[in-house]
Amino acid sequence: MEQSAPQSPSCTSTITISEGLAGRAQSRGPTAVDFIGAREPQLITYGFYIDEDAAKMTVVAVHPDSAPLELHMDIGTKEFA
pLDDT digits (tens, 9 = 90+) for 49-76: 999 999 999 988 888 887 777 777 777 6
Residue 30 confidence class, pLDDT cut points 50, 70, 90: confident
65 and 71 in contact (C-beta within 8 Å)? no
Write the CA distances from 62 to 17, 34, 38, 53, 68, integer angstroms. Answer: 23, 15, 15, 26, 9
Residue 39 confidence class, pLDDT cut points 50, 70, 90: confident
pTM reported for the whole predicted model? 0.69
Topology, domain 10-80: Alpha-Beta Plaits (3.30.70)
